Structure 1
Amino acid sequence: MSGRGFTFKQFDVQHDRCAMKVGTDGVLLGAWAEGGLRILDIGTGTGLIALMMAQRYGEATITGVDIDHEAAMQARDNVSRTPFANRISIIESPVQNLTADTHGKFDAIVCNPPFFNDSLKNPDQQRAVARHADTLPYRQLFQTVAQLLTADGVFSAVIPSDCLSAFCTEAYMANLTPSRRCAIRTTQRKQPKRCLIAFRHASCPHEFTSEEQCLQDAFGNRSGWYQQLTSDFYIK
């Protein structure tokens, strides 16, 4: 990884024009989320998750949407240099403006959402927009997801563990219920810091599965689980 970007096995991602850089959360979600034939990446940023989903699901078409002009431009540039360019489109728009009538519905939706609700804003306006939920409150996120998700589709996200309760409350209000959850510890000694979680329409029969995993082993190396999850992406 450099100050400008990150090189993966099948593509590289530049992030010098984006507020939110390539990081563990995005890689985790891109490697863990369920896909489909039509995938929507909300808040695509660099385009990382869209690219990971395109690599994992070879028949899929992916739409990335972002409100930030610089991020949308960089995502388009990143996508253009990959083998997946003809299957990924980037839209510069609030996701709330997307409708099923104009854009159709999606089998899978992924999002690494803004998550700070009450903390002080970052003085960097671009980073503040990317990190704070003001521009995409959880309620609006789930209302939009519920409208754009197919009847048997799945919505996957990565969020800080301390946001999980509020996140799930808004999901229930939109008639979406959890189908899969993975609590992530950085090390075995620490409490889970982040959570991967997937939702489906409450009307769609599904079971709920839950697990807990660790990113690092006792020696500070990537755990076996993390290595296996990201083996198609990280260069050893």
Structure 2
Amino acid sequence: MSQKPFKFKQFSIDQDRCAMKIGTDGVLLGAWASLVHQPESILDIGTGTGLIALMLAQKSDAQLIDALEIEENAYEQAVENFEKSDWGDRLFCYHAGFDEFVEEMQDEEEYDLIISNPPFYSEDYKTGNENRDQARFADALPLTELIEGASLLLSKKGHFDLIIPFTEEQNALEIAKEHKLFPLKITRVKGTEDSPIKRSLISFGFENTEPEIDELILEISRHNYTEEFKALVKDFYLKL
């Protein structure tokens, strides 16, 4: 486990007490999330180290950026990462479960952007490390619960962005439709040109329009990244 902070261009993240370390999925989602609708309020569900909330603080003018984390060590570390950043006055982390948060906040707060890199590993892959399992497994936050809760907290013109395994894409679209959420954009992610699609980045909204669909390839060969991927993350990674 890394004891050293992970340094980005404009912030650094301590992750020694977090079960889930910084990975490509989180960076991808934070970089991909569109701010064209100029969100004034943002919610990051399952913030972990605080990575995505910090990325959005760097690239947006939103004055309210809330984050939610149920696991105590990760919550404490996210708070510390927020406080040492340049945007500590705009970032706030809640220590609560998502169902509890939705129940308390749905009549109090609406968010223009809700974002989540949710847990999605299946029951078969449990590790025995409770904190890590809580961070990684879908039974901690089922997709149905995540999408329904997001629909209750999202502003009328808001976007709900998430990254999930490609195998869950159709399921997510069907659940979202039940809650009057529709895909605005879908980006399917492949490791290389010849590899299968691994992830789906989806931006949902209440407007039922034809979604923009594209594909992102990460690498040409091992550690030889595509220009598209480099362009996406260039404002964040120190080296690529």
TM-score tier after normalising by the smaller chain length:
over 0.9
Written as runs of structure 1 = structure 2, the 5 A alignment for 1:124-143 is 124-143=129-148
Which ranges of structure 1 fall in alignment gaps of 5 or more residues? none
1:155 to 160, 165, 181: 160
Aligned counterpart, 1:101 = 107
Once the two structures are TM-superposed, the CA of residue 218 in structure 1 deviates from its matched residue by 4.2
> Given that residues 54 and 61 in structure 1 are in contact (C-alpha distance below 8 angstroms), is that contact kept between their aligned partners in structure 2?
no
Report the equivalent of 1:70: 73
By how many angstroms is 1:164 displaced? 1.5
Aligned pairs (5 A) from 1:118-197: 118-197=123-202
Matched with 1:22 is 22
Which residue of 2 is the match for residue 110 of structure 1? 115
* Identity score, percent: 37
Distance 2:123 2:171 in 1: 13
CA contact (8 A) 1:5 1:22 kept: no
Match of 1:213 in 2: 216
Q: Which amino acid aligns with 1:171?
A: A
Deviations, residues 18-52 of structure 1 (Å, cap 9, x unaligned): 11100100000000112411000000000000000
Amino acid at match of 1:15: Q
Distance 1:117 1:173 in 2: 23
Q: Does the 8 A contact of 1:38 with 1:108 survive in 2? A: yes
CA deviations on 1:42-65 (whole Å, 9 max, x unpaired) are 000000000000001024321000
SS of alignment partner, residue 115 of structure 2:
strand
Contact 2:2–2:16 (8 Å) recurs in 1: no
CA shift, 1:2, in A, is: 4.8
Checking the alignment, whether the CA contact within 8 Å between 2:20 and 2:48 is kept in structure 1 is yes
Alpha-carbon offset, residue 4 of structure 1:
3.5
CA distance in 1, matches of 2:129, 2:122: 17
| Partner secondary structure for residue 84 of structure 1 | coil
Tell me which of 198, 203, 207 is aligned to 1:198: 203
Q: Give SS of 1:27's match.
A: helix
In structure 1, give the amino acid aligned to 2:106. Answer: A
Cα pair 1:115 1:163 within 8 Å, conserved: no
Query: What SS is found at the alignment partner of 2:152?
Result: helix
**Structure 1 residues 206 and 5 mapped into 2: Cα distance closer, same or farther (>3 Å)?**
farther
Q: Tell me which amino acid in the other structure corresponds to 1:31.
A: A
CA RMSD of aligned residues (A): 1.6
Q: Matched residue of 2:184: which SS?
A: strand
Q: Tell me how many residue pairs correspond in the alignment.
A: 233
Q: Deviations over 1:91-149 (max 9, x none)?
A: 000122222223x0000000001112442322111111111111211111111101000
